[in-house]
Amino acid sequence: MDNLLLYLAKVSFGTGIFYLCYILFFSTDTFYLRNRIYLLISLILSFIIPLVKISGFSTGIVPVEPMKRMNDIILSGTLIESTITEKVSSLNLNYLLVCFYFGVAGLLLLRVLISVTKAYSIIRKGTLKETAFPKVILSEMEYPPFSFFPFVVIPGNKYNSADYTEILRHENAHVRQGHTFDLIFSEILIAFLWFNPFMWLIKRSIVLNHEYLADNIALKTSGNIKEYQYKLLNIPKDLMFVPLAHNYSNSVKKRIVRINKRPSHNYASLKNIIILPVVATLLITCSLNSKESIPANSSGSSGDEKFISINDFRNSEVPKTDLSKHKDRDFEIYRVKWDTLEAYSISTFQLKNSQLEEHTDFTLLLKDEYDKASYKWVNDSSLLFNLINPSKKLLKSYRLDYYKNGNASLGVVEDSTK
């Protein structure tokens, strides 16, 4: 859960940085194709960059101390009141958060599916007028002209009007450049980052830039800029919009302002260089760790936490270890009973020189009884393990460290029983 939250936070940070750069440096330029590519790539990079790790960047290294150095025999163990309950409550809260996150994501994905279905429903109810690409559909429903790849849908009352040619040029531009796929792509990403306002703003910028692109292409063949603007203003504003489609009456005022804007100078394209330091900064930032905890002589990778039972044996009945059931790094603990006392014997197993070696490292004398244990290898030289008694709510945590000189130390990592 923590890893998911951190990843989503980094993705959200990336989208925010890319969007601010777009607004500050690129949004006012008339390089609409460049802007389309930038917006799409910024979405992709925002999801990829947090997965890229650059070694050597951290805000500080905090070595893990052994806490308390111990001898081979340790006397400890007291009652805890709430540790296990708190861990269960934390797990329940995390589960609820995950369910809520994926629940909203699922609803938004369902909305995308419903929008696609609705667009095709309007298309199916219309009349196919032109079979060549892009296909033209005449519709009698109360919707503005719109495009949804590979179709252009025109209201029936516009087919024989003077506006038809301009509308068709504009919507054909949407279809030929595949703008529908940009919309679907951005909507799917929004479903997974629905809490991030920058995702919604980027999607709005993508739609608006699509309109600028289509207007620019339509005007190249129209020739009469003023007449084209009048026809935009003649589109009724009270018509229902088609979700996940390019509606001809979308953002008319902004489009008219942009139509009358002077083309950007070629030297404005030099601003493209800004993208490189932005990407580099995000790569470094996402590779930073606020704290990097490392043990002495650490190496290797961490493993998953495992739970095992603690078995009882008489001192004379301790079985010989079956090495075949252990992997390259493993852990074993059992309780040995003598006539007058009980002790917990700890053994670890590591693969060295292609041979599995057993280390009977420590014996613990504890006044409380534990019937379960959990353990996790932090790296090749460090092991964390817990002794657990769920019925009595007993918990004791230890850390076992190996050193290059062959010695080992056992320390209390967290004594939550106090």
Secondary structure of the chain in the HEC alphabet?
CHHHHHHHHHHHHHHHHHHHHHHHHHCCCCCHHHHHHHHHHHHHHHHHHHHCCCCCCCCCEEECCCCCCCCCEEEECCCCCCHHHHHHHHHHHHHHHHHHHHHHHHHHHHHHHHHHHHHHHHHHHCEEEECCCCEEEEECCCCCCEEECCEEEEEHHHHCCCCHHHHHHHHHHHHHCCHHHHHHHHHHHHHHCCCCHHHHHHHHHHHHHHHHHHHHHHHHHHCCHHHHHHHHHCCCCCCCCCCCCEECCCCHHHHHHHHCCCCCCHHHHHHHHHHHHHHHHHHHHHHCCCCEEECCCCCCCCCCCEEEECEEEEHHHCCCCCHHHCCCEEEEEEEEECCCCEEEEEEEEEEECCEEEEEEEEEEEECCCCCEEEEEEEECCEEEEEEEECCCCEEEEEEEEECCCCCEEEEEEECCCC
Q: Specify the pLDDT at position 194.
A: 92
Residue 70, C-beta contacts closer than 8 angstroms, at least 6 positions apart: 409, 410, 411, 412
Which residue in 147, 157, 154, 156 sits closest to 119, CA to CA? Answer: 147
Cα 307 versus chain centre, distance: 29
Tokens linked to 146: 């719109």
Give residue 300's region: left, alpha or beta (phi > 0; psi -120 to 50).
Answer: left
Tokens linked to 289: 């760790």
Q: Specify the pLDDT at position 16.
A: 92
Q: Specify the pLDDT at position 154.
A: 86
Q: Specify the pLDDT at position 292.
A: 42
pLDDT in tens, the chain (418 residues): 567 788 888 999 999 999 999 999 888 888 889 999 999 999 999 999 888 877 555 444 444 443 333 333 333 333 333 444 444 455 567 778 888 889 999 999 999 999 899 888 888 888 888 888 888 888 888 788 888 888 888 888 777 777 788 888 888 889 998 999 999 999 999 999 999 999 999 999 999 999 888 888 888 877 678 888 877 777 766 667 777 777 777 777 888 888 888 888 888 778 888 888 888 888 888 776 544 443 333 333 445 677 777 777 665 565 566 656 656 567 777 777 766 666 767 777 665 655 556 665 566 666 667 778 888 877 777 878 888 777 777 777 888 887 766 677 777 775 554 4
Q: Specify the pLDDT at position 191.
A: 92
Q: What's the rounded Cα separation, in Å, for the pair 81 and 68?
A: 23
For tokens 């951190």, the residue is 6
